[in-house]
Amino acid sequence: MSSTHFDTILFVCTFALLLGLEWRYRRRRLRLGAVLLALAVLAFYSPNYTTARRRALGTPPAERITWVHSPDQPVSAYESGVYTAIQAVVDAAAFGYGARMAAVGTLVWLACTPALRPTRSSPGEPEPRSMPNSDHAG
pLDDT tens, residue order, the chain (138 aa)? 666 689 999 999 999 999 999 999 999 999 999 999 999 999 999 999 999 999 999 999 999 999 888 888 889 999 999 999 999 999 999 999 999 999 999 999 999 999 988 876 666 656 555 555 555 555
- What's phi and psi for 37, nearest 5 deg? -65, -40
Q: Domain boundaries in the chain? A: 1-45+96-116, 48-95
pTM for the predicted model, two decimal places:
0.74
